[in-house]
């Protein structure tokens, strides 16, 4: 499925649900969102009976397949600033900065060894247009209170990582590299050890107030939490809620020490660029490069998964990208390629919510930045449930602007397919033009695409 599981092996399966039952809280989905929520709820209220229902196994989704960037980005921050004011968005950003440390702290407390290395996040620019966007991005991040962010020219960038053609970069300490499968597996074990019940191989077909329905029985609970991210469309009534966007990755074989001497990358920063079709990469604990980005962005009818299988054309595009970034890796052996789905809301804004009248809650729509955001979502769902059940009042987390945000649904097919493919064609074309014409101005079509998608 993903290299992370190819390396680790898939975990021993847990028992499915075997009939109707009850719980105080039922969590649907055993990824980071569901597991962090169960973790913090159970820690806060050990008496709660919490059941997690997972269709395959914990970490089967994006949580076990991602690029391992634990970082402070949150989808929708700029829109939240427009909707709720800048101060509210700054609070959200601060909460995200703290979340990076919280994940590392919690993993440490639970004895989860997930190859975490806090080297920060380095984003590089390789064309004049990327450079202009990078400087604007850097300035925007400073304005959101990231005073520890640094801006580098070509020479300083090369001192960190020798990326071909890099003309500038921006670095923040609020990020770490990790091994996703090790984290999600360790978290599931920690949650179980606290006394949470996890049923695997148990697909939920319908969520309705106080009920999670599966082919093997129904869990009745005052609170039912939907934590299904890119798979949400397969639930009854949710087809147009969050669009399942694909992202694909490749990983090299371990690279020889002499290659690393030439590439640098001693800080193990997570590495990204400012292209419209973003690239993201990490130097793994065992000396490989894992790199992701391009792929078929979206399948007709919100189809999601084929267990991570990846089209040859996508693997080729990622290989070419790797060689473009690091020319000496042109012939490097690729050990594994895989894909996964992330959830994209119509306005590109991540949310966490609890409907107090029905007891239904949900969190997600993280787009490509859920490794840290899921943790903030888990702690926020804990606070929302504690508030609703009278155990505590409002907290700093329940007052964040992404709480209880509502967004309109995606268009029906074929508009959805046409729209998303149109957007990505515009982004690919813009990247090509920026690379060949050396213009410093982002092409108009890409700016229009940002506005239409809600990404800008």
Ligand X SMILES: Cc1cc2nc3c(=O)[nH]c(=O)nc-3n(C[C@H](O)[C@H](O)[C@H](O)COP(=O)(O)OP(=O)(O)OC[C@H]3O[C@@H](n4cnc5c(N)ncnc54)[C@H](O)[C@@H]3O)c2cc1C
Residues at the site binding ligand X, with contacts judged by CB under 6 A: 28-34, 53-56, 60-63, 65-69, 203-204, 227-231, 234-235, 247, 249, 280, 292, 340-342, 364, 366, 368-372, 374
> Which residue is at the shortest CB distance from ligand X?
370
Name beta bridge partners: 69. Answer: 177
Residue 17: partners with Cβ closer than 8 Å, 6 or more residues away: 53, 199, 202, 214, 216, 217, 219
Q: Which residue's CB is nearer to ligand X, number 281 or number 423?
A: 281
Residue 71 CB, shortest distance to ligand X, in Å, is 6
Residue 247 CB, shortest distance to ligand X, in Å, is 4
Identify the three-state secondary structure at position 218: strand
Q: Which residue's CB is nearer to ligand X, number 365 or number 443?
A: 365
Q: Which residue's CB is nearer to ligand X, number 114 or number 342?
A: 342
- Return phi, psi of residue 366, to 5°: -80, -5
Residue 346 CB, shortest distance to ligand X, in Å, is 17
Residue 4 CB, shortest distance to ligand X, in Å, is 10
Torsion angle (degrees, nearest 10) of CA 94, 95, 99, 100 = -20
Residue 61 CB, shortest distance to ligand X, in Å, is 2
Whole-angstrom Cα distance, residue 43 to residue 37?
10
Residue 359 CB, shortest distance to ligand X, in Å, is 18
Instruction: Retrieve residue 312's tokens.
Output: 């040859």
Q: Which residue's CB is nearer to ligand X, number 48 or number 204?
A: 204
Query: DSSP code of 300?
Result: G
Residue 128 CB, shortest distance to ligand X, in Å, is 27
What is the biggest distance separating any 2 CA atoms in the chain, rounded to whole angstroms? 63
Rg of the chain on CA atoms, in Å: 21
Report yes or no: 412 and 110 within 8 Å, Cβ to Cβ.
no
Residue with tokens 């569901």: 34
Q: Which residue's CB is nearer to ligand X, number 100 or number 129?
A: 100
Q: Which residue's CB is nearer to ligand X, number 219 or number 372?
A: 372
The strand order across the sheet containing 150-153 reads 150-153, 168-172, 121-125, 270-273, 280-283, 289-293, 243-252, 334-344
Q: What is each CA distance from 97 to 14, 139, 145, 146, in whole angstroms?
A: 34, 17, 10, 9
Q: Which residue's CB is nearer to ligand X, number 189 or number 392?
A: 189
Q: Which residue's CB is nearer to ligand X, number 219 or number 249?
A: 249
Residue 47 CB, shortest distance to ligand X, in Å, is 25
């Amino acid at each position: 499925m993903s290299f992370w599981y190819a390396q680790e092996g898939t975990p021993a399966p847990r028992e499915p649900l075997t009939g109707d039952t009850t719980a105080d809280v039922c969590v649907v989905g055993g990824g980071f969102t569901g597991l962090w929520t169960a973790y913090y709820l159970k820690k806060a209220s050990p008496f709660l009976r919490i059941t997690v229902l997972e269709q395959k196994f914990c970490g089967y989704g994006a949580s076990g397949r991602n690029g391992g960037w634990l970082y402070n980005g949150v989808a929708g921050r700029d829109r939240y600033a427009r909707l709720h004011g800048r101060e509210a968005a700054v609070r959200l950003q601060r909460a995200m900065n703290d979340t990076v440390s919280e994940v590392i702290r919690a993993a440490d407390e639970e004895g989860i060894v997930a190859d975490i290395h806090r080297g920060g996040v380095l984003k590089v620019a390789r064309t004049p247009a990327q450079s202009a966007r990078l400087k604007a991005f850097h300035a925007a991040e400073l304005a959101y209170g990231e005073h520890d962010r640094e801006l580098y020219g070509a020479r300083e960038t090369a001192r960190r990582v020798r990326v071909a053609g890099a003309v500038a970069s921006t670095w923040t300490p609020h990020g770490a590299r990790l091994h996703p499968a090790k984290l999600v597996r360790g978290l599931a074990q920690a949650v179980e050890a606290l006394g949470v019940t996890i049923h695997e191989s148990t697909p939920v077909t319908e969520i309705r107030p106080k009920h999670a329905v599966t082919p093997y029985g129904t869990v009745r609970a005052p609170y039912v939490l939907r934590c299904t991210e890119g798979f949400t469309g397969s639930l009854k009534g949710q087809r147009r809620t969050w669009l399942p966007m694909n992202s694909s990755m490749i990983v090299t074989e371990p690279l020889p020490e002499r290659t690393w001497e030439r590439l640098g990358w001693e800080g193990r920063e997570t590495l990204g660029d400012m292209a419209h079709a973003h690239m993201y990469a990490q130097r793994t604990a065992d000396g490989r490069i894992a790199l992701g980005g391009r792929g078929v962005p979206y399948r007709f009818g919100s189809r999601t998964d084929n267990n991570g299988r990846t089209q040859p054309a996508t693997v080729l595009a990622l290989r070419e990208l790797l060689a473009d970034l690091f020319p000496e890796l042109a012939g490097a052996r690729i050990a594994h390629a895989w894909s996964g789905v992330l959830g994209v809301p119509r306005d590109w804004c991540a949310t966490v919510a609890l409907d107090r009248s029905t007891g239904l809650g949900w969190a997600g729509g993280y787009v490509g930045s859920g490794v840290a955001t899921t943790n903030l979502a888990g702690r926020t769902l804990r606070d929302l449930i504690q508030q609703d059940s009278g155990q505590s009042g409002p907290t700093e987390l329940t007052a964040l602007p992404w709480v209880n945000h509502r967004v309109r649904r995606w268009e029906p097919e074929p508009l959805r397919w046409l729209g998303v493919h149109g957007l990505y064609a515009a982004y690919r074309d813009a990247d090509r033009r920026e690379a060949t014409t050396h213009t410093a101005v982002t092409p108009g079509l890409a700016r229009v695409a940002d506005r239409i998608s809600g990404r800008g």
